[in-house]
Amino acid sequence: MAVNDNRRVIEVADPTALAAAAAEHVLARTAANRGRVAICLTGGSSPKHLYQLLATESYRNRLPWHRVHWFIGDERFVPADDPLHNMGMARATFLDRCAPPENIHPIPTATADPADPDGGAALYQRELQSFYGADTLDSARPLFDLVLMGVGPDGHTASLFPGDPALDETAHWVVGVPRANIAPFVPRVTLTLPVLASCREMLFEVAGTDKRAILTRVLAGENVPANRARSTSETVWLVDRAAIPENFGGR
């Protein structure tokens, strides 16, 4: 385990250990808040093991589902039952079996107009602000207890791609992304960095040799979107052995 700014990198053996460690973070963050808990999920393939684990009996019985609310950090303009729909994947993998429907908060890309991703973004911004009870974020009262994240080969995270002006957005909580940098090349909606940062913990899950190159760049401090995504409190990168750069000395 190593410390860099407010970022900790924790190495685990493999994807199975990664999912188990991530599930413990979910349980710990949920236990730490005795009121209404807000968790922001992520898409992509990395969190799938975790989602499957949360639906198993031992985890299912340990989570206070009635008081946990589930959001999503970004969404793609694909039908809700498309395997590439981020919240659709989370619903199919665990939420629909475990969470009360009113606690699931999808980004409305399935019904919004793909030609107007900002329209879908505005709807979700309103939903987040109404859940939070204010239109501006208070650093003493984070929006989320936990934000899950992943990193793409180009360094993107959520749907914040390198060079996109969305990275510098400070006014909007949620924005439309007309062009993705990576497949699927469909318009998207993404939460912005200050909103993702408004959490007690941001947790990245990174596994596999395919991720080693981008992780090397991230840990070298390169200015890629994933490096700009930090919680105002604690940021943790859970990384499996296959993804750890060869010369990783603990940063």
Binding site for ligand 6PG (CB under 6 A): 42-46, 73-74, 86, 150-152, 156-159
Query: Please, what is the minimum distance in Å from the beta carbon of residue 236 to ligand 6PG?
Result: 15
Query: Please, what is the minimum distance in Å from the beta carbon of residue 84 to ligand 6PG?
Result: 8
Closer to ligand 6PG by CB, 125 or 157: give it: 157
Closer to ligand 6PG by CB, 33 or 52: give it: 52
In angstroms, the CA 2 to CA 216 distance is 15
> In this structure, what DSSP letter does residue 248 have?
-
In angstroms, the CA 115 to CA 210 distance is 33
In angstroms, the CA 115 to CA 58 distance is 43
Query: Please, what is the minimum distance in Å from the beta carbon of residue 13 to ligand 6PG?
Result: 18
Closer to ligand 6PG by CB, 33 or 216: give it: 216
Note whether 76 and 85 are within 8 A (CB): yes
Closer to ligand 6PG by CB, 63 or 158: give it: 158
SS3 of the chain: helix, strand, coil, percent, to 5 = 35, 20, 40
Query: Please, what is the minimum distance in Å from the beta carbon of residue 209 to ligand 6PG?
Result: 12
Query: Please, what is the minimum distance in Å from the beta carbon of residue 221 to ligand 6PG?
Result: 20
Closer to ligand 6PG by CB, 10 or 33: give it: 10
The type of residue at 2 is A
In angstroms, the CA 172 to CA 168 distance is 10
86-92's contacts with Cβ under 8 Å and 24+ in sequence apart are 86/41, 86/42, 86/43, 86/44, 87/41, 87/43, 89/43, 89/48, 89/51, 90/41, 90/43, 90/47, 90/51
Closer to ligand 6PG by CB, 30 or 157: give it: 157
Query: Please, what is the minimum distance in Å from the beta carbon of residue 56 to ligand 6PG?
Result: 21
